[in-house]
Amino acid sequence: MRYLPLNDADRARMLDAVGVGSVEDLFRDVPSEVPPGPVFDLPDHQGEMAVEQAFNAFAVKNLSPSCAPTFLGAGAYRHHIPAAVDALIQRGEFLTSYTPYQPEISQGTLQALFEFQTQVCLLTGMEVANASMYDAATACAEAALMAARVTRRKKVLISGSVHPHYVDVILTETGFTGISCERLAPDPMGIEDLVGRVDDDLACVLVQTPGFFGRLSDFTALAAQCHAMGVLLVVAVAEPVSLGALMPPGEMGADIVVVDGSSLGMPLSFGGPGVGLFATREKYMRNMPGRLVGETLDVDGRRGWVLTLSTREQHIRREKATSNICTNSGLCALAFSIHLALLGEDGFTKLAEVNHKAAAALAKRLSAVKGVKPLSGPFFNEFAVVLDKPAAPVVEALAAKGILGGVPVSRFYPQFPELENLMLVTATETNGDADFDALVAALTEVLR
C-alpha cells in the first residue's frame, strides 16, 4: 500500500520492542462482545490509475460549466482564477500544515492570515475581521448569536432579500438557543419596510446587498434606526466582487459584515469548500467568533504574528465560548487573499466593472427576448427575470441544449407559487459575446 512505509520486518521488530506478539494484541481493550473481525462489504485497495479513471467516469456524467455557457449565481459566482493562486496554495508548506498554534514555525500562515484580515477590513469598511468561517451561511448564524450576546436580546429580524440558505442555517443554528427569528417573505421587488419594524427588543436586523434577487440596497437609514434602538445591523454580501464597485457596508453603518468569499481564489467545487468572511467594529472584538491573528514581537524584538484573544474560543472557554468553531477555512482564505493580491486595487475595481457591465449588457439583450422580462431596479452582476412560463422546466430545457442558463427561484422557494416564473441570471467576466448569443438563441427557442 503506497501510503504505508512500514514493512513486515519493521513491524516484527517494533512488536518485539513493544513486547506483544501481534498488532491484534494491541487492540485487546476492545471489548469481547465487539466482533473482532467485522465484515466490511467494501472493495480492496486500488492504484492511482484506477482511482483517476473512476473520477473521470463521475465527471463525464456532469455538464461542466467549463464546457457550457454558464449564467448561474444564487450565491455562487463563477470567476476566472489566475493560475498562480492554485500553484501557491498547493505548496506543501501551506497545504499540509496544521492550525498555526506553534507561531515560531507558522509565521507564513500567520502573516498571510493577518494580511487576509486586513483585506477583509478594507473591502467591507470595517475595523476588525477574523481569520475565516466555513461559509457565509454559517457566518450569518454566528453573527446572529454574536448580536444576541452583545445586546443581551433574543430576537432577530431577517430581510426577505437574504439568501434562503443563509436564513435556513440561521434558523437551524439558533433554533435551540432561545433566540427567535422573524423571517420576512421573499422580496424580489424590494418593497419590504425594515426601518418601520426596528424596535428595541431586537438583537439585530440581517440584510443582504446585492440581495438574493440581485437588487442593490443602501442601508444607511436602516443603520441609523437600528443604532437609535440599540440594535446591531448585520449586512451579508454573497458576491464579494461587488465590493469593488459598491459602497462598503461599513460606510452604511453596518455593525457586522458577513461575506461569502468563494468568488475569489477557489473553484466552485459544487458549492464547497468556500470561505466566510466576518468583520465587525473594534468595540465588539472580544465577542467575535473564530480565530484571530494579532501582531506582536519576539524575544529579540522582531515583529511577528500569533493567534490571539483565544480565551473566546472553545479550547479554553469550553461551554462559555463564543462559538464551537475550530477548523475553519484557512486554505480558502489564503486563496482568496492571493487572488485579491494579484488583482490589487486597479484589477479588483476593474473586475467589478467588467462584471457589472456584462450583466447590464445581458439584461438588455434578454429584455428583447419574447417572454422574458427583467425585474426593474439596480443590480450588480445578477438580476431576476420573469418568464412567461415556470422557470424550472425552462432551465432544464436550456440544460438539454448544453446551456446553464439560470437558477429557478422555485428551487429555493417551492412553497411560493407566485415565484414560479422567476429565474436568476448572472453574467461575469467569464461570459463572452458567444455565450450571450447562445443563451438568447436558446431561450428564444425554449419560450417560443
Partner 1 sequence: MAKLYFSEEHEWISVEGGIGTVGITEYAQEQLGDVVFVELPEVGTAIEKGDDVAVVESVKAASEVYSPVSGEIVEINEDLADAPGQVNQSAEGDGWFFKIKLSDESELDDLMNRKDYDAFVEGLE
Partner 2 sequence: MTEVHVFPSAPAGTVSGNRGLTVEEPLLFEMGGEAGCGVDLPEPRDVPDHLTGFARKGRIGLPGLSEPQVVRHYTRLSQKNYSIDAGFYPLGSCTMKYNPRLNEKVARTTGLGDLHPMQPVSTVQGALEAIDAMAAWLLGLTGMAGVAMSPAAGAHGELCGVMAIRAAQEAKGNPRKIILVPESAHGTNPATAALCGYSVVAIPATAEGRVDIAALKAKLSDDVAGLMLTNPNTCGLFEREVREIADLVHAAGAFFYMDGANFNALIGRVKIADLGADAMHINLHKTFSTPHGGGGPGAGPTVFSQALAPFAPLPFVRRGDDGFELVETRAQAGADAHPFGRMKGFHGQFGVMLRALAYAMSLGKDGFRQASGDAVLNANYLLARLKDVLSAPFEGPCMHEALFDDGFLKDTGVTTLDLAKALIDEGYHPMTMYFPLVVHGALLMEPTETESKQTLDAFIDTVRALAAKAKAGEADFFHAAPRLTPRRRLDETLAARKPVLRWAPPKAE
Pattern 231-260, partner 2, x by CB under 8 A:
------------xxxxxx--x--------x
Nearest to 314 by CA among 333, 289, 292: 289
**Stretch 188-217 residues interacting with partner 2 (CB under 8 A):** 216-217
Site for partner 2 in 4-23 (CB under 8 A): 4-6, 10-11, 13-15, 17-20, 23
**Residue 312 and residue 240 in contact, taking contact as beta carbons nearer than 8 Å:** no
Q: At what angle do helices 433-446 and 391-400 cross, to 10 degrees?
A: 120
Beta carbon nearer to partner 1, 152 or 448: 152
Size of the site for partner 1 (CB under 8 A): 6
Whose grid coordinates read 455538464?
Answer: 63
- In the complex, what is the shortest distance from the CB of residue 371 to partner 2, in angstroms, rounded to a whole number? 19
CA–CA separation, 27 and 15 (whole Å):
13
- 72 and 407 Cβ atoms separated by less than 8 Å: yes
**Interface with partner 2 by CB under 8 A: which range of 49-57, 150-158, 197-205, 226-234?**
49-57
| Interface pattern 322-361 for partner 2 (x via CB under 8 A) | -xxxxxxxxxx-x---x-xxxxxxxxxxxx-xx-xxx-xx
Q: Is residue 441 within the footprint of partner 2 (CB under 8 A)?
A: no
| Distance of alpha carbon 133 from alpha carbon 150, whole angstroms | 19
397 exposure class (CB count in 10 Å sphere: 0-12, 13-18, 19+):
middle
Site for partner 1 contains 177 (CB under 8 A): no
**Cβ atoms within 10 A of the Cβ of 109, count?**
24
CA distances from 294 to 101, 190, 324 (A): 13, 40, 21
**If binding is defined by CB under 8 A, does position 311 make contact with partner 1?**
yes
Cell of 123: 473591502
Segment 75 to 104, residues that bind partner 2, using CB under 8 A = 75-76, 78, 82, 84, 86-100, 102-104
DSSP state of 405: -
Residue whose CB is less far from partner 2, 179 or 205: 179
C-alpha cell at 267: 473553484
Spatial distance between the Cα atoms of 346 and 362, rounded to a whole number of angstroms? 24
Instruction: Give min distance, CB of 402 to partner 1, in A.
Output: 57
Measured between alpha carbons, how far is 17 from 303 in angstroms, rounded to an integer? Answer: 46
Residue 418 contacts partner 2 per CB under 8 A: no
Residue of the chain from 129, 148, 241, 439 that contacts partner 2 (CB under 8 A): 129
Residue 107 near partner 2 by CB under 8 A: yes
d(CA 309, CA 118): 17
Q: Which is nearer to partner 1, 302 or 318 (CB)?
A: 318
Identified binder of partner 2 from the candidate list 128, 204, 254, 256, rule CB under 8 A: 128
Out of 13, 283, 303, 317, name the contact with partner 1 by CB under 8 A.
317
Show the cell assigned to 187. 422580496
Residues 304-323 that bind partner 2 (CB under 8 A): 304-306, 308-309, 313-321, 323
Minimum distance of partner 2 from residue 199's CB (angstroms): 25
Site for partner 1 in 127-166 (CB under 8 A): none
Cα distances (Å, whole numbers) of residue 250 to 124, 146, 247: 6, 17, 8
Total binding residues toward partner 2, as defined by CB under 8 A: 210
Half-sphere exposure of 437 (CA within 13 A, CB side): 3
Residue 283 binds to partner 1 (criterion: CB under 8 A):
no
Q: Which stretch binds partner 1 (CB under 8 A): 171-179, 200-208, 316-324, 389-397?
A: 316-324
Total Cβ atoms within 10 A of residue 448: 7
Query: Which of these ranges, 64-72, 132-140, 311-319, 418-426, lies near partner 1 under the rule CB under 8 A?
Result: 311-319
286 touching partner 1, by CB under 8 A: yes
Binding region for partner 1 (CB under 8 A): 286, 310-311, 316-317, 320
